[in-house]
Amino acid sequence: MKHTLEGERHACGDQGASVLSGTSTRVAVRGWNRASLAKGTFFRQAARWWMPWVLVLAGGAGVVGQSMNVPASKPQDLTELSLEQLLESEITPINVLGSHTHLKGGIMVGYRYMYMNMEHNLDGTHEVSVDEVLQDYPVAHTRMTMQMQMVELMYAPSDTLNLMAMVPFRNLSMDHLNRAGEEYTANTSGIGDLNLMALINVYGDPRVKGQRLVVNAGLTVPTGSIDEMDERAGGHHRLEYAMQLGSGTVNLEIGLSYLGESEDWAWGAHALGLLPMGYNDNDYRLGSEYFIDTWVQYKVRDWFGPSARLNWRGWNNIHGADPELDPARNPAFDAQKQAGERLDFLLGLNFYIPNGVLKGNRFSVEGGVPVYQNIDGPNLGLDWLITAGWSYSFH
């Protein structure tokens, strides 16, 4: 179930989307199995698979860049462009956290809305019926939805450094069915974990079209609740890990983005890890998470460009356990059944308004479905997700 937390975090951004330490989702590596996830070898396997994929994606994107004849000797100097033209040079889809930058003095405010829908229980890669779940547990989940609204603020003190803050508001709903045939729904809503991030351009000139490397370094602050209760039971029983609004810990983020663009094309690859630190007040910490994105975007017109993206995410089991959650009653109460991985395919539409009252505004929408899921279960897997966003940049 923890994948619901991840998605928000880094969709923010899936994702997240890290901002989203409590309720978001999580290159499919079919060789990994549930046993290896549960035994704590996930980090070593992630590192072994992570870097080769980053190199492959970056290398492939570089080949694409060369085939598109990105000018090397006569790059386009962006210092000669107007603000509107600079805004049009935006090169990343809406849900790629940490890959969007501005030039010195640039300020961006933004808002995004994400909706995730989960209606099928998975055990590994196999779907499990509700009746099968009820053979082993008194309670089964039949559906979960996650709605996330996020406010974003970005400021560039220099061409090579951008600072970002993101504040999420989450609304979570989970439908349950018990052995007596009783159906009930639990709901939680509130502020999630605050996300703070620095984006550091370490290779390439951000004022010139071409290819760049950007380091992502940040953390999430535990502003989201981890004490959400089941109101149906008089507020005396803690809800599932996936229904909590935050992580309860400070979580470090470190990542690397490769960005490339030509006159009409933009492409890139992005890898990011989220590492929880310490334990929260309920005696646990969420498992480490890893994200890899690769994307391409085409500029059809000055005001419109579609995009396509692959997003892989993997997440580890929870360390420790909330003493108020009985793992024998509900699979989502089991700290050792929260690991998984997922590969999503997403398509997006990106609009820029160059004239009129709304001049300078950008609107984007992106939706997708999983093409591969491996969930420690039985727990709910993702069916589909959609994100819509708005941003406005100025100096």
Model confidence at 102, in pLDDT bands (50, 70, 90)?
A: confident
Q: How far separated are the first and last CA of the chain, in Å rounded?
A: 42
Q: Check residue 302 and give its pLDDT.
A: 77
Q: Which residues of 85-94 are buried (b: 16+ CB within 10 A; e: fewer)?
A: ebbbebbbbb
Model confidence at 11, in pLDDT bands (50, 70, 90)?
A: very low
Beta strands in 229-360 (DSSP E): 250-261, 265-277, 284-285, 289-298, 304-315, 319-320, 340-352
**Residue the block writes with tokens 């590192």:** 47
Q: Check residue 233 and give its pLDDT.
A: 57
| Mean pLDDT, the chain, integer | 81
Whether the per-residue pLDDT at 24 is higher than 90: the answer is no
Close Cβ partners of 115 (under 8 Å, ≥ 6 residues apart): 145, 146, 147, 385, 386, 387
- Report helix, strand or coil for 65: helix
**Residue the block writes with tokens 């694409």:** 64
Instruction: For the chain, count helices (H), then strands (E).
Output: 5, 17
Q: Check residue 20 and give its pLDDT.
A: 42
Structural contact between residues 13 and 95, judged by C-beta atoms closer than 8 angstroms: yes
Q: Which helix (H) or strand (E) holds 42?
A: helix 42-67
Q: Check residue 270 and give its pLDDT.
A: 94
Cα angle for residues 152, 154, 156 (degrees, 5° grid): 175
Residues 268-324 pLDDT 10s: 999 999 999 999 999 999 999 999 999 999 988 878 889 999 999 999 999 999 999
Whether the per-residue pLDDT at 50 is higher than 50: the answer is no
